Chains A and B, each alone.
Chain A
Amino acid sequence: MLGLSRNDFLMLLFVLFLVAAAPILLNPFPEGSSLAQFNAGYPDLMQRFLIFGIFAIGFNILFGLTGYLSFGHAAFLGAGSYAGVWMLKLLTINVIPAIIVSTLVAGLFSLAIGYISLRRSGIYFSILTLAFAQMSFALASSVLQPITGGETGLQTNLNDPRILDGANTTGNIPAPSLFGWEMRESMQVPVGDWLWTFNVGYYVCAFILLIAFYISIRIFRSPFGMMLKAIKSNNERLSYTGISPRPYTLAAFVISGMYAGLAGGLMVSMDPLAGSERMQWTASGEVVLMTILGGVGTVLGPVIGAGIIKYFENIFSKINDNLLHGWFSFMPDGLEDFMVAVIHPFVGKGWHLSLGLMFMLAIIFLPGGFVGSLHNVFSRIFRKRAQ
């Protein structure tokens, strides 16, 4: 179906279900309960899951298949973001041109950087991409201020030209929309003690993620995808087989750059503000972590990895001492204070500590990432049964 094998089609359906039902699935705790803090079903966070999911899916096409580790993909996300905001400013507040143009701009940008960086391999390639991205970041926050808004960032204004729909607006700055549906619009559905929020922007992201995911499966299962795996496995042999590895790697680089640009375009479509920090190496590092944590070279891994990291970032950083006291209030006072003191460094402002520990534990105990490890566990179980 859709050119997919049965298993892949089922996986696509699974992702479709997860994504469509996320506003319900991610809010398992009743509103106002002490565990409501762990609910992730609010639009802003769910949009992030999907947008970074797209970013990681694309990154995996390069890193997962060819093994070329880019430390500069945030530059493409940033370039896409700027292009997207400019479209919203100059052309129309409708998000479609913004999303398309940001993908294309990032594609061109990655073609130029990839063409040069791919002259080297291994760590030399990684450092070249890092250098290009850091340069882009430095220039975006200083010299290129007229285009990028410098350190304050680039955002939409009321008096933007908006050639197609500029005349219709007075009053507030218009919010990005899709043919009149504003991205920030939400429908809230209370069911019993639970509250579910269905957001327009989220479902736009969801639709695009599904397409991006589908394309990625097709690439993985295509002759092109096989060539990319062959590059990772034995680059030199490939050239003695009559294949020139470089155009293949470059194509993978550009495709993953376009995914990054698409993610950037979506990001500004949800919130029309692009800052240069989006291009910094830490942002590039984040997508590497998402991909590895989820499972390099697996189709589903990057989406899961992106979800896990964004969940941690948002939920752990919001837990404060008051909340902790609330959770442990059933304990005797001394013990309560002790528990709060023990957990305190790991949450709130200290959530990075949890993140660091999580990376270490995941890498030590789950080589191959979450999906890779699950796969190993399952295949071990089934092999035993078969015997």
Chain B
Amino acid sequence: MELSAILLQVLNGLDKGSAYALIALGLTLIFGTLGVVNFAHGALFMIGAFCAVTVQRLLSLSTITIDESKTDFLGKPLQIKTPYVESWFGESVGNALIDWSVPLAIFLTIPVMLIIGFVMERGLIKHFYKRPHSDQILVTFGLAIVLQEIIKAYFGANQIPAPAPSAFIGSFDFGSVIGMGPGKLLYPYWRIVYFCFAMLIIALVFAFLQFTTFGMVVRAGMADRETVGLLGINIDKRFTIMFGIAAAVAGLAGVMYTPINSPSYTSGMDFLVISFVVVVVGGMGSLGGAVLAGFVLGILESFASMREVIEFIPGINQVVIYLAAIVILLARPRGLLGRKGVMES
């Protein structure tokens, strides 16, 4: 196998790995702080993705004028749609806004996800802290179905494309940069953006936990909730905020993923199961483990889908994540970076 082919698979694994890592990071934050297994986390990813669709639709809202002089292919007078943003800001600015609707959707996603997170935690999750994990799984799973169906009722069951800005369409030629010759190692621009975005979010979350007082209290709470409570610190309020942040991380992962995979109401569930595998392989409650496992499994998956590998071991692309999970869990009982005694009974 050529070096360029190997590098290509690593690159291909990065974007999926980024999505896995971001979802798993949020799951771990929720589990580590609140001790809750959140099966609705995939749905939060999906809602984030639909924020992009919403922004796209809002920006494309148009006035319709009828041009009597021309006719469309049915022979009716031609309808000309002019998006409001074009009539307000001029054609070039308006077009650019519509073109950039996916990145712009970030500004909608953050407040929306924070609110959803707060409401979810205060309204539902709060009542399940002391209930068994199986109850938490079931109630959040029910919530995930409800959220999914609401989205389906509004947006329909089909995938809705939400393309990247046209500036990012096309691929970056890594091959010519690192001297392998042009065309050997092409990687779409948007995937580079997604990876960098994911790294930025991960860095921000870690920096927030590491360098702020708030983060320090939360980390202390993750290690020993009772003691922190005894110190007279209101840990619950902070945990609510952490839930909001975890929801926002999932939403951001979803919104920026839309150009890579057009969202549909099931996209959350597709990611959920794998994300749980990622969290467990990383080690329950370990933030670093979640990120590491996300990338490891994403890259492994990408390698396994190479033609040469599939010819060698048929079907490996479908099972590699699960196979890796089994091997890792048998070799390392608590996952890659897990601690003892978390969720073992």
Q: Which residues of A pack against B, CB within 8 Å?
A: 67, 69, 116, 119-124, 127-128, 130-132, 134-135, 138-139, 142-144, 235, 281, 285, 288-289, 292, 296, 345, 350, 352-353, 355-360, 363-364, 367
* B318 touching A138, Cβ below 8 Å: yes
B305-321 vs A: 1/0 string, CB under 8 Å? 00000000011001101
CA distance A69 to B138 in the complex (A): 12
* Interface residue from B144, B319, B322, B330 paired with A356 (Cβ < 8 Å): B144
CA distance A124 to B335 in the complex (A): 8
* B127 touching A364, Cβ below 8 Å: yes
* A363 touching B139, Cβ below 8 Å: yes
Q: Which residues of B pack against A, CB within 8 Å?
A: 37, 124, 127, 131, 133-135, 138-139, 141-146, 148-150, 152-153, 273, 276-277, 280-281, 284, 314-315, 318-319, 321-323, 325-326, 329-330, 333-335, 343-345
Given A138-B319, A356-B146, A123 and B138 contact (CB-CB distance below 8 Å):
no
Which 9 A-B residue pairs are closest in the complex by CB-CB distance?
A356-B145, A359-B142, A143-B315, A138-B318, A131-B322, A353-B149, A122-B344, A360-B142, A356-B146
* A135 touching B319, Cβ below 8 Å: yes
CB A285 to nearest CB in B, in angstroms, measures 7
* A363 touching B322, Cβ below 8 Å: no
* A360 touching B146, Cβ below 8 Å: yes
* Interface residue from A120, A144, A352, A367 paired with B131 (Cβ < 8 Å): A367
A281 CB contacts on chain B under 8 angstroms: 273
Residue of B nearest to A139 (CB): B315
CB B334 to nearest CB in A, in angstroms, measures 7
Given A124-B329, A124-B344, A350-B153, A363 and B138 contact (CB-CB distance below 8 Å):
yes
* A359 touching B138, Cβ below 8 Å: yes
* B333 touching A350, Cβ below 8 Å: no
B138 CB contacts on chain A under 8 angstroms: 288-289, 292, 359, 363
* Interface residue from A132, A144, A355 paired with B145 (Cβ < 8 Å): A355
B145 CB contacts on chain A under 8 angstroms: 352-353, 355-356, 359
27 CB < 8 A contacts A-B: A119-B330, A120-B329, A122-B343, A123-B37, A124-B329, A124-B335, A124-B343, A124-B344, A127-B277, A127-B325, A127-B329, A135-B323, A138-B315, A139-B318, A288-B138, A289-B141, A292-B135, A352-B148, A353-B146, A356-B143, A356-B145, A358-B142, A359-B138, A360-B139, A363-B139, A363-B142, A364-B124
B141 CB contacts on chain A under 8 angstroms: 285, 289, 359
CB B313 to nearest CB in A, in angstroms, measures 9
B315 CB contacts on chain A under 8 angstroms: 138-139, 142-144
Given contacts A127-B281, A143-B314, 7 further A-B contacts (CB under 8 A): A121-B344, A123-B133, A127-B276, A127-B325, A235-B345, A345-B149, A356-B143
B143 CB contacts on chain A under 8 angstroms: 356, 360
Q: Which of A285, A352, A356, A364 has the most CB of B within 10 A?
A: A356
* B322 touching A134, Cβ below 8 Å: yes
* B146 touching A131, Cβ below 8 Å: no
A120 CB contacts on chain B under 8 angstroms: 329-330, 333
CA distance A121 to B341 in the complex (A): 10
B144 CB contacts on chain A under 8 angstroms: 356
* A135 touching B149, Cβ below 8 Å: no
A345 CB contacts on chain B under 8 angstroms: 149, 153
Given A122-B343, A124-B333, A132 and B133 contact (CB-CB distance below 8 Å):
no
Q: Which of A119, A122, A123, A289 has the most CB of B within 10 A?
A: A123
A142 CB contacts on chain B under 8 angstroms: 314-315, 318
Given A352-B145, A352-B148, A356-B142, A128 and B329 contact (CB-CB distance below 8 Å):
yes
Given A121-B344, A124-B334, A363-B142, A131 and B148 contact (CB-CB distance below 8 Å):
no
Residue of B nearest to A351 (CB): B149
A356 CB contacts on chain B under 8 angstroms: 142-146, 148-149
CA distance A367 to B326 in the complex (A): 33
B273 CB contacts on chain A under 8 angstroms: 130, 134, 281
* A364 touching B139, Cβ below 8 Å: yes
CA distance A128 to B322 in the complex (A): 8
Q: Which of A120, A235, A360 has the most CB of B within 10 A?
A: A360
CB A351 to nearest CB in B, in angstroms, measures 9
A123 CB contacts on chain B under 8 angstroms: 37, 133, 280, 284, 343-344
CA distance A364 to B146 in the complex (A): 15
* A292 touching B134, Cβ below 8 Å: yes
Residue of B nearest to A280 (CB): B273
CA distance A121 to B37 in the complex (A): 16
